[in-house]
Amino acid sequence: MTGEFKRDQNYLPDRITADGRDGWPVAAGRYRLVIARACPWANRAAIVRRLLGLEDALSLGLCGPTHDERSWTFDLDPGGRDPVLGIERLQEAFFRRDPEYPRGITVPAIVDVPTGQVVTNDFKQMTLDFSGEWRKFHREGAPELYPEPLRDEIDDVAEKVFRDVNNGVYKAGFATTQEAYEEAYRALFARLDWLSERLATQRYLVGDTITEADVRLFTTLVRFDSVYHGHFKCNRQKLTELPVLWAYARDLFQTPGFGDTIDFGQIKEHYYVVHRSLNPTGIVPLGPDPSGWLTAHGREELGGRPFGDGTPPGPPPAGERVPSLAG
């Protein structure tokens, strides 16, 4: 369709595996996960790393909320350099892997610290491998986010959510024709209605515990009112006007490992500053008030066990804490 936003989904395909079959064996301390708090795709990796307790095995590099046409940058770090990789731009790690790397420089990316090369930026596979291939380094009580008996259903729900919601907000926001925008808008809200119906009678998307599917939906919902409702013209309703999804999102936000990865200031700064085609002034809105995320949600009445037979993760490491909404 003319004017339709099409995401480049070609990523570095290497995987870090327990048996090292791609040449990248799982090893504690060898790799660095590079994210930006602003990015929903990177947010997935941050949440799964927290839930599984991989902090000691896989270090975290944090890019700032804005970037230019070249690359994400480490402007939050002293001197503007990542303290482990010693680079100013994530682009440098991609170029060490391939000096002619032709695609976008994306987060999340996992970098091999000894060589300084990016191993993978395949965000979909990355979190599944955290669950499966990195099992040796899971914390005691780590949840099963991708349990074998539910994988087909998780994959099915996650694909619908990706097409119509995760990527759907971008298809609406970056459409360049009215027809393309309206198609994306209708698909988005049809899927949100479908999700509302599904979640009206069950606490989580698949089964009675948190799974990969919930992680993938949450990172879009948590950005919805701050960014997608206005900036991307996804404005049939705000999340706060969708009772089931608003309660579901608050339930997850208040679950350790979810809300403690969210920095609303960085999220808004990224979208409103970087997307000058949509917001030429670069003015970042002050609202909405995020305090509602801490209000009671009542989802416990639906039952469910957030971590199954596991336990919640402990608090984030000191250097990875985000601003608290509680003040």
Please say if the pLDDT value at position 81 is more than 90. Answer: yes
pLDDT in tens, 143-155: 999 999 999 999 9
Are 125 and 209 members of one domain?
no
In a domain, 227, yes or no: yes
Is 170 an annotated catalytic residue? yes
Distance CA 21, CA 15 (A): 8
In a domain, 233, yes or no: yes
Residue 8: pLDDT band with limits 50, 70, 90: confident
In a domain, 17, yes or no: no
**How is residue 100 written in tokens?**
């002619």
Distance CA 16, CA 305 (A): 30
Distance CA 200, CA 298 (A): 12
Are 219 and 82 members of one domain?
no
Please say if the pLDDT value at position 272 is more than 90. Answer: yes
Residue 115: pLDDT band with limits 50, 70, 90: very high
In a domain, 99, yes or no: yes
- Average pLDDT for the chain: 97
Please say if the pLDDT value at position 156 is more than 80. Answer: yes
Q: Total structural domains in the chain?
A: 2
pLDDT of residue 163: 98
Average pLDDT over residues 100-121: 97
**Location of structure tokens 């209605």:** 193
Are 117 and 168 members of one domain?
no
Give the residue among 62, 95, 55, 103 at the shortest CA–CA distance from 81: 62
Burial class (CB in 10 A: 0-12, 13-18, 19+), 56: exposed
pLDDT of residue 7: 87
pLDDT of residue 68: 87
Are 154 and 295 members of one domain?
yes
Q: Is 67 helix (H, G, I), strand (E, B) or coil?
A: strand
Are 98 and 238 members of one domain?
no
The catalytic residue among 31, 39, 181, 185 is 39
pLDDT in tens, 162-205: 999 999 999 999 999 999 999 999 999 999 999 999 999 999 99
Percent of the chain with pLDDT over 70: 100
**Location of structure tokens 């998307």:** 205
CB 49 within 8 A of CB 33: yes
Are 120 and 262 members of one domain?
no
Please say if the pLDDT value at position 251 is more than 70. Answer: yes
Q: Is 304 left (phi over 0), alpha (psi -120 to 50) or beta?
A: left
CB 181 within 8 A of CB 175: yes
The DSSP string of 9-39 is --------BTT-TTS-B--TTTEEEEEETT-
Are 231 and 295 members of one domain?
yes
DSSP bridge partners of 59: 32
CATH of the domain at 163: 1.20.1050.10
pLDDT of residue 327: 59
Please say if the pLDDT value at position 140 is more than 70. Answer: yes
pLDDT of residue 1: 77
Are 298 and 158 members of one domain?
yes
In a domain, 260, yes or no: yes
Q: Which residue has the higher pLDDT, 9 or 248?
A: 248
In a domain, 81, yes or no: yes
Residue 106: pLDDT band with limits 50, 70, 90: very high
194 is in an annotated binding site: no
Average pLDDT over residues 241-245: 98
Give the residue among 255, 53, 195, 217 at the shortest CA–CA distance from 137: 53
In a domain, 7, yes or no: no
What is the DSSP-derived secondary structure letter of residue 57? T
In a domain, 324, yes or no: no
**How is residue 228 written in tokens?**
């997608």
Last residue of a domain, one of 137, 157, 180: 137
CATH of the domain at 51: 3.40.30.10
Are 211 and 298 members of one domain?
yes
Are 207 and 231 members of one domain?
yes
- Three-state SS annotation for 80-133: HCCCCCCCCEHHHHHHHHCCCCCCCCCCCEEEECCCCEEEECCHHHHHHHHHHC
CB 252 within 8 A of CB 220: no
Distance CA 327, CA 313 (A): 22
For the chain, the distance separating the N- and C-terminal CA atoms, rounded to the nearest angstrom, is 47
Average pLDDT over residues 24-45: 98
Last residue of a domain, one of 104, 137, 170: 137
Are 128 and 153 members of one domain?
no
Domain carrying residue 54: 31-137
Are 241 and 294 members of one domain?
yes
The catalytic residue among 146, 170, 181, 185 is 170
